[in-house]
Structure 1
């Protein structure tokens, strides 16, 4: 940012003096990356930003010229009712929670509201969901996704959207510039679609499905960013702080006892659905859910690809303030038992490969075995029976070695 506003090059030694010792490695990495992108000279005594990049970047962050980098606001029309920000927040929350609720509830026998086909494709394409026995179900990656903050979740999906955009032959520069444009817009204002490119107009339909933009009608010439958009590059919460999302109330809501009994102080159906993935729910009250962590409930979660560490991380991340007075935070007996149940599932591990046996002599056996060990492909050996089992990858080399010896 300092280089952006300098008209002349600056000595590398001067810039190096700005860097604290702990930041030296980050500085060197950043300089190398900028050099690889030809934004600064790869090796020079003085540094200056590439002129084209500098002018474009200045224009982008100041909104200069005709670029409309902050969007083109529409004049307020007395005939139209003003935008209601609480209603806009409600719309964004409903769209976003529809996606998360579908991820959690699919495959559990419940029938959650289905998001659009584009959202479903994105969830499967990103590995957050997978089809098992003809039914889409949350994956281990998907459950890890639920442990993230709404901010991180949003960027995870948008990064996958960028990968998809390349496959759909959309202009990646226009996709990125539109996302950053949304982040600079004002919540509660309407903006014109006239200056948008065809790629960006196509994006509006996708971003409506994610709850990032709102339009009165699908073919409307106006759109308004939701709070999910305007906080993309900020530290502000992407949804109203008063609303409980998957990240839960800030202070946490789960109490776990040593007898595996769990109390969740929530009335949010999404949080309840997440708990239902690994807890046997017993009772539901207006603001409280009671359940038990059982061998069956954990095994069900493990079969869906959720790991014991992920379950423990979720419980820790959403522990009630009363729980946070404990050291350790969660009962050790419960943590150990959850991990033991996972070990039960992983007692047997199958590997494809070849069994080598019937060696003519002990010397032949040891010669081939040592060769296989050098390749690091021996999975099992039995010296008394003169046989060993090698991995699939090593078979061609071992076979060739035996034939050459023969």
Structure 2
């Protein structure tokens, strides 16, 4: 079995934030999680995602053969640590790693056995992948080649998202990827049938690559049943990939039908490399081997435009001029969503935030706060010396342009006018107000505007009143 790193990337409680996968796992049934925990690689991956305190609790219980009283463990907890301790127990219980008991404490027997096996390296389950036999004709690519392949596939997806609907013609991802982007709400079809980025899609670009990957992969898992895939097998395969060694080739013979069917999708996302679709071996890329790690999922030499928060490249002036120190096509394409680009040099792009460029972004579903958030996230280190970081005049103007767009709203309904008397007008208006369907009124002209939903009731009321008078 390949060497296994237990913690992968140790982090402190203050640095830890809940992983998106944990919420998904907590929504699964105990039966599904117990099946998942039969795989040592799955248990190790889940263990990596937990908070340091939760990992410590597991390690304290891992080698015990019997339950211990809850009071024994809680005796070690200080008053200040009681809330984090209780939160940790609650998380582990929702993951069915420990039972939901107030008296006894023990690990799920299946989880305990599998995690022990992951640590000690015993068994021949192939849970961490089965290394493929050397193939002289098709040797596995080196790590640099795998990195370049993963970067190209991932940037193809992101670049298509930001360029679609702008008249540009970037490389098109596979139909399966496009369906997933549309299904997840990151892109939507216009009336002309063209896919374009949504507000959620722009927010997606602000996330780091880890979060982006899991957002797509979780949407993929949500679609598992309708694609007649085994959800547990699909999830265990992703977790198995996260424990594999980068640069090695692994055999496909031991994979389940669901896992074999996933290979094509994972190639499209850049998570695995195969020399052709019928190959009996595959090599995971860095995108896959870092799924449950905090290590960068892409080469650090290039920024994908969706991560590297510590490497800002944008300088924004009070006169709305913007300077972006980048030559990355993806970053430039993102800026083009809300900036009027005026000049481009080998490592610098010059543009300006204008009313027209912001209105174009707003029309595409991008909000003012998202624009400001992007500018803040990728501000140049020199900009970070300013307080506030972004010019207040620019922030206020972007928000004013948004208010300008939203100041007029249209709503369908009916205009009620030509009342015979002021008394009739007030009588019907009072009835409509009780129904809470009045959108506008003008007492001087004896008219009001009611919503579409209230029209049937108002019309019936007028007809009954007219009949009574007759």
TM-score after normalising by structure 2: 0.77
Instruction: Tell me if the contact between 2:140 and 2:283 (Cα under 8 Å) persists in the aligned partners.
Output: no
From 260, 263, 269, the equivalent of 1:210 is 269
Instruction: Tell me if the contact between 1:103 and 1:129 (Cα under 8 Å) persists in the aligned partners.
Output: yes
Instruction: Tell me if the contact between 2:355 and 2:401 (Cα under 8 Å) persists in the aligned partners.
Output: yes
Is the alpha carbon distance of 1:395 and 1:72 closer, same or farther for their aligned partners in structure 2, counting shifts above 3 Å?
A: farther
Structure 2 alignment gaps of length 5 or more: 1-57
From 350, 359, 362, the equivalent of 2:410 is 350
The Cα shift of 1:107 comes to 1.0
Could you tell me which residue of structure 2 aligns to residue 114 of structure 1? 172
* Stretch of structure 1 that moved more, 90-99 or 342-351: 342-351
Could you tell me which residue of structure 2 aligns to residue 271 of structure 1? 331
From 249, 254, 262, the equivalent of 1:195 is 254
Indicate yes or no: 2:432 matched with 1:372.
no
Q: Write out aligned runs for 1:4-403 (5 A).
A: 4-17=62-75, 28=86, 31=89, 40-56=98-114, 58-59=116-117, 64-76=122-134, 81=139, 83-132=141-190, 133-247=192-306, 250-354=310-414, 358=419, 360=423, 364-365=427-428, 368=431, 371-373=434-436, 378-382=438-442, 388-392=448-452
For residue 440 of structure 2, give the secondary structure of its aligned residue in structure 1.
Answer: strand
Instruction: Tell me if the contact between 2:140 and 2:249 (Cα under 8 Å) persists in the aligned partners.
Output: no
Instruction: Tell me if the contact between 1:369 and 1:388 (Cα under 8 Å) persists in the aligned partners.
Output: no
For residue 439 of structure 2, give the secondary structure of its aligned residue in structure 1.
Answer: strand
Is the alpha carbon distance of 1:93 and 1:400 closer, same or farther for their aligned partners in structure 2, counting shifts above 3 Å?
A: same
Is the alpha carbon distance of 1:251 and 1:52 closer, same or farther for their aligned partners in structure 2, counting shifts above 3 Å?
A: closer
For residue 171 of structure 2, give the secondary structure of its aligned residue in structure 1.
Answer: coil
Instruction: Tell me if the contact between 1:368 and 1:402 (Cα under 8 Å) persists in the aligned partners.
Output: no
State the Cα deviation string for residues 229-264 of structure 1 (Å, max 9, x = none).
111111100001111211365321111111111111
Is the alpha carbon distance of 1:82 and 1:95 closer, same or farther for their aligned partners in structure 2, counting shifts above 3 Å?
A: closer
Is the alpha carbon distance of 1:26 and 1:352 closer, same or farther for their aligned partners in structure 2, counting shifts above 3 Å?
A: farther
2: distance between equivalents of 1:162 and 1:62? 30
Structure 1 alignment gaps of length 5 or more: none
* Stretch of structure 1 that moved more, 383-392 or 171-180: 383-392
2: distance between equivalents of 1:340 and 1:314? 18
The Cα shift of 1:348 comes to 0.7
CA RMSD between the two structures: 3.0
For residue 152 of structure 1, give the secondary structure of its aligned residue in structure 2.
Answer: helix
Is the alpha carbon distance of 1:59 and 1:177 closer, same or farther for their aligned partners in structure 2, counting shifts above 3 Å?
A: farther
2: distance between equivalents of 1:17 and 1:393? 61
Instruction: Tell me if the contact between 1:61 and 1:69 (Cα under 8 Å) persists in the aligned partners.
Output: no
> Greater RCO between the two (CA within 8 Å, min separation 6)?
2
* Stretch of structure 1 that moved more, 257-266 or 394-403: 394-403
The Cα shift of 1:184 comes to 0.2
The Cα shift of 1:208 comes to 0.5
The Cα shift of 1:383 comes to 5.2
State the Cα deviation string for residues 368-400 of structure 1 (Å, max 9, x = none).
356335xxx553344556665454556677789
Instruction: Tell me if the contact between 1:63 and 1:70 (Cα under 8 Å) persists in the aligned partners.
Output: no
TM-score after normalising by structure 1: 0.88
* Stretch of structure 1 that moved more, 158-167 or 396-405: 396-405
1: distance between equivalents of 2:356 and 2:124? 62
Instruction: Tell me if the contact between 2:428 and 2:458 (Cα under 8 Å) persists in the aligned partners.
Output: no
2: distance between equivalents of 1:308 and 1:117? 31
2: distance between equivalents of 1:162 and 1:55? 26
Aligned pair count reads 403
The Cα shift of 1:130 comes to 0.8
The Cα shift of 1:25 comes to 5.3
Is the alpha carbon distance of 1:360 and 1:392 closer, same or farther for their aligned partners in structure 2, counting shifts above 3 Å?
A: same
Instruction: Tell me if the contact between 1:231 and 1:238 (Cα under 8 Å) persists in the aligned partners.
Output: yes
